[in-house]
């Protein structure tokens, strides 16, 4: 392993894929040239981390960037459903000895290349009952052995919390930056703060926090109702010590499109979330 203090910015590391790692000892994909790797993380499940990942991927693809999504939430994968590709399967190839396995990701309508455990297993609702080291091994394989090709952005939908996978991604993957997702609740902020402190300890740069489900616009009068905390989002961001990237409302049209597997189509036809891509550039 190398010992390069600028690994997180990647600028000094070779980006060519290799199983051994780049010049800074970070793990690189074997079948791809990836310019930026962004991790999207939250402390707690259900706050909208996968939704924000899907929105950002779609917005970047709408602007013509080449985008990939690695669903690193191995025990709770949701990216295939977001993109409505849950009935498709990634191609798994190996050489005649059954070695050198590669995965061909599934492409969405906009050409976003997605890999997820749910695109590799036969049955979508079959649980993954594996210990941490096995889950880590599978994640590394999905990251390294997928045929990403050339990508401007690889977005990693992380599992919630500060567990094994988060540690692997923050320590071993050449992250350009991370985005934290939270909801306006003191209890959630407290748990999300643990992730923020983890990023500090591991010297991973963080772009800021997206506060999700901040409010809902009344269907009749359009007035904003803050369902959770009445505190402004800026106050939560200040507690986390991060810039506030966005306050996203509960969006009933998005929910409906998600349920129908049509979130990408919905996002293609709205510019509500376009501003979000400024946060990753
Ligand atoms: P996480 O990845 O943090 O576990 P998800 O992105 O899966 O959370 O979101 C949890 C649920 O909340 C999903 O059913 C999703 O559709 C819904 N959801 C997330 N963000 C919003 C939003 N802004 N408006 C409406 N529903 C949302």
pLDDT of 172-223, one tens digit each?
Answer: 999 999 999 999 888 888 899 999 999 999 999 999 999 999 999 888 888 8
Q: How far away, in angstroms, is 50 Cα from ligand 1 center?
A: 7
pLDDT of 49-93, one tens digit each?
Answer: 999 999 999 999 999 999 999 999 998 899 999 999 999 999 999
45 among the known binding-site residues? yes
CB of 48 within 6 A of ligand 1: the answer is: yes
14 has pLDDT over 80: no
Q: Residue 21: what pLDDT?
A: 54
First to last CA, the chain: 29
Taking each continuous run of H as one helix and of E as one strand, the counts in the chain are 9, 12
CATH homologous superfamily for the domain 26-276: P-loop containing nucleotide triphosphate hydrolases (3.40.50.300)
Q: How far away, in angstroms, is 202 Cα from ligand 1 center?
A: 28
The pTM of this model reads 0.91
Rounded Cα distance between 104 and 89, Å, is 9
CB of 206 within 6 A of ligand 1: the answer is: no
Atom of ligand 1 nearest to the CA of 45: 4
**Ligand 1 pocket check: which of 83, 227, 228, 255 to mutate, most ligand atoms within 8 Å of Cβ?**
255
**Ligand 1 pocket check: which of 41, 48, 58, 209 to mutate, most ligand atoms within 8 Å of Cβ?**
48
| DSSP code at position 146 | B
13 has pLDDT over 70: no
CB of 250 within 6 A of ligand 1: the answer is: yes
Q: Which two tokens stand for residue 203?
A: 């010297």
| Ramachandran angles phi, psi of 224, nearest 5° | -75, 125
| Ramachandran angles phi, psi of 246, nearest 5° | -165, 155
Q: How far away, in angstroms, is 49 Cα from ligand 1 center?
A: 7
Q: Is 112:67 a contact under the CB 8 Å cutoff? A: yes
Atom of ligand 1 nearest to the CA of 82: 16
Atom of ligand 1 nearest to the CA of 52: 6
Distance of CA 90 to the CA centre of its chain: 19
CA distances from residue 271 to 62, 82, 154, 274, 275 in whole angstroms, order as listed: 10, 18, 22, 5, 8
């Amino acid at each position: 392993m190398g010992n390069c203090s600028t690994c997180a910015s990647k600028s000094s590391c070779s980006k060519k894929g290799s199983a051994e790692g780049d010049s800074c000892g970070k793990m690189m994909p074997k079948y791809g040239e990836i310019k930026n790797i962004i991790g999207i993380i939250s402390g707690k499940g259900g706050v909208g981390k996968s939704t924000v990942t899907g929105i950002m991927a779609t917005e970047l693809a709408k602007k013509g960037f080449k985008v990939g999504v690695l669903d690193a939430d191995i025990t709770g994968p949701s990216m295939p459903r977001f993109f409505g590709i849950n009935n498709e399967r990634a191609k798994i190839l190996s050489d005649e000895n059954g070695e050198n396995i590669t995965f061909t990701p599934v492409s969405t309508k906009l050409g976003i290349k997605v890999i997820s455990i749910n695109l590799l297993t036969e049955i979508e609702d079959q649980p993954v009952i594996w210990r941490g080291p096995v889950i880590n091994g599978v994640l590394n394989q999905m990251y390294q052995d997928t045929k990403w090709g050339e990508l401007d952005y690889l977005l990693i939908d992380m599992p919630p919390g500060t567990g094994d996978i988060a540690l692997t991604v923050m320590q071993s993957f050449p992250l350009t930056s991370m985005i934290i997702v939270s909801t306006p609740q003191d209890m959630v902020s407290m748990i999300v703060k643990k992730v923020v402190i983890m990023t500090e300890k591991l010297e991973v740069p963080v772009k800021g926090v997206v506060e999700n489900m901040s409010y809902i616009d009344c269907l009749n009068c359009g007035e904003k109702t803050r369902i959770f905390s009445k505190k402004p989002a800026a106050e939560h961001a200040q507690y986390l010590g991060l810039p506030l990237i966005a306050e996203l409302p509960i969006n009933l049209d998005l929910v409906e499109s998600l349920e129908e597997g049509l979130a990408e189509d919905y996002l293609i036809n709205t510019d509500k979330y376009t501003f979000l891509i400024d946060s990753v550039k």
